[in-house]
Amino acid sequence: MWMFEIPPFVPFFLGALFAAFTRGKLRGAIMVALPLLSAIHLWTVPEGIHLQFAFLDYQLIPYRVDRLSLLFGYVFHIAAFIGIIYSLHVRDTLQQVAAMLYAGAGLGAVFSGDLLTLFVFWELLAFTSVFLIWARRTRRSYFAGMRYLLVQVLSGVILLVGALFYAAENGTLEFGYIGLHGIAGWLIFLAFGIKCAFPLLHSWLTDAYPEATVTGTVFLSAFTTKVAVYALARGYPGTELLVYIGAAMTAFPIFFAVIENDLRRVLAYSLINQVGFMVVGIGIGTALALNGAISHAFNDVIFKGLLFMSMGAVLHMTGRINGSDLGGLYKTMPKTTILCIVGAASISAFPLFSGFVSKSMVMTAALENDYGVVWLMLLFASAGVFHHAGIKIPYFAFFSHDSGLRASDPPNNMLLAMSISALLCIGIGVYPSALYALLPYDTGYNPYDATHVLAQSQLLFFSALAFVLLKLKGLYPPELKSTNLDADWIYRRALPVVFSRFFGMVWRFDGVIRQSFLVRLDLFLGFLTRVNNQTSGLLSRTRPVGSMVMWVAVLLATYLFLSFYR
């Protein structure tokens, strides 16, 4: 039974230690083996609290297992395993250590049973993941990493303050349902929202993820936002505000993704879009909606990872990632092309692919609970994601035009990792019962009824038709060599201008004050000079040194005499 008390993050932290002090094939073998062994161990762990201790007047629960945490635990092991295989060719200790610590922090967060333990792993997620951005070692990645770290640490600070208020209000730190009750509920909600990339709080994601390393982006896409989704599902199920926040998240990234040139940034916007579906499901809060949100998080880790891996392979082999610079690669990268298409079909929710069996649950739940307008927004978002991720990504990377690039398929370890993800995308789509058996609720949902299949097929067909017509008419936004700013315009353009002007006024006012002071000081010093230059002035008279010593002795003797007789 003692094995049950080993939290899943421990093997990954040990893996980081081994990665720091081993090299070559030994390091690779250890890093691949540890997620497998940890996953097998986790499969044997029963539900319940397996580790707890007292801290001050509170019970801390670093290791709590239930069906919700187990599902995220399983997919995080899968993501870590695939990501490690994908990065086996990398000879960078910094990246490999950071990746293992990052995966361990994600697992620690989803098995945390109290808010203080959650905060610790929440901050570890930030501090470990930023090195996957800085490891690219470019000026852009350095500044993007600094902005990313600032936002992530701010989220942690807000979470800690919220946890302290929650403890004061409720007398416990247990992490369960919180709700929007009191200042604690709102603060913790804001902390989760930052990490979940809520609208106007999302720019850290589209700013930083495309600047990470080829392999680092794969890890980043799997953990941070999914931990936040888990936290919302644990603390705020049925919070109606989340329905409207999630609907906005599904819609607004589409407009930026369509005009974006950097294909990894397109996928970053698409990540926000898919998280929006999860947030809507959590907000609806019914058994079907929560199952849909959680299963879609599971699937998104895999198919979004596959898309990031395929674009990472393109970047790794060509050194380019802008759609305007790519095209025609299907001729020399056929395996990568096919695997990318599998990921594109999955995220677009084609029948028999993984996205279809989870996204349809959320949309069905929206209709069943009278969220008609939200359902229409989700329908629009489904068509949009097919445009920018299902069509744009493979089309501009592999088919658009002949860019003249003749890169081959990436190393075998990268192809193997992508192949595992592709097989999972197809396997879950063909046999969804295996995934449904892991979900928290048994709803008896069947995704493959005639209505779901026909409606989704029609949506995809007309969406593809719209893309073709827009391209033929020359109305589809062209791939421009530019960087698009959305909410990050506030802190990357507006705030620097405001601060520059504000501090410019401060420095000018400071200069006036200093100049006025110096003028008056010069006048005063001039006055002293004139006084001291007078021959009869007291300060201008000269005295012999011996005479001055005598007077000092007389003053000292007088002081001692008075002190003695006082």
In sequence order, what DSSP letters do the residues of 115-164 get, joined into one string? HHHHHHHHHHHHHHHHHHHHTT-SHHHHHHHHHHHHHHHHHHHHHHHHHH
Q: Is the pLDDT of residue 53 over 90?
A: no
Three-point CA angle 214, 76, 98, nearest 5°: 45
Stretch 273-282: mean pLDDT: 96
Partnered with residue 65 across adjacent β-strands are 48
* Between 181 and 424, residue with greater pLDDT: 424
Q: Is the pLDDT of residue 202 over 50?
A: yes
Q: Identify the helix (H) or strand (E) that includes residue 382.
A: helix 372-385
Q: Is the pLDDT of residue 83 over 80?
A: yes
CA torsion through residues 418, 292, 195, 492, sign: positive
DSSP 165-230: HHHHHHS--B-S---S-HHHHHHHHHHHHHHHT-TTS-HHHHHHGGGS-HHHHHHHHHHHHHHHHH
Nearest to 264 by CA among 201, 208, 345: 208
Q: 95, 178 in Cβ contact below 8 A?
A: no
Is residue 550 very low, low, confident or very high in pLDDT (cuts 50, 70, 90)?
low
Pairing of strands 58-65, 48-55: antiparallel
Helices (H), 201-330: 203-208, 214-235, 240-259, 263-284, 287-318
Helices (H), 319-411: 334-347, 354-368, 372-385, 392-394
pLDDT tens digits along 376-389:
999 999 988 988 88
Residue 1: what pLDDT?
A: 42
| Average pLDDT of the residues of the chain | 89
Cβ burial of 35 (10 Å; 0-12, 13-18, 19+) is buried
Cα–Cα distance measured from residue 96 to residue 378, given in angstroms and rounded to the nearest whole number = 38
Type of residue numbered 299: N
Partnered with residue 349 across adjacent β-strands are none
Pick from 67-71, 80-84, 256-260, 407-411: least confident: 256-260
* Between 561 and 347, residue with greater pLDDT: 347
Stretch 87-104: mean pLDDT: 94
User: Three-state SS for 108?
Assistant: helix
Residue 312: what pLDDT?
A: 96
pTM for this predicted structure: 0.86
Q: 326, 393 in Cβ contact below 8 A?
A: no
Cα–Cα distance measured from residue 425 to residue 354, given in angstroms and rounded to the nearest whole number = 5
Q: Is the pLDDT of residue 487 over 80?
A: no
Is residue 405 very low, low, confident or very high in pLDDT (cuts 50, 70, 90)?
confident
pLDDT tens digits along 213-264:
999 999 999 999 999 999 999 999 999 999 999 999 999 999 888 888 899 9
User: Three-state SS for 61?
Assistant: strand
Q: Phi and psi dihedrals of 261, rounded to 5?
A: -95, -40
Cα–Cα distance measured from residue 48 to residue 110, given in angstroms and rounded to the nearest whole number = 14
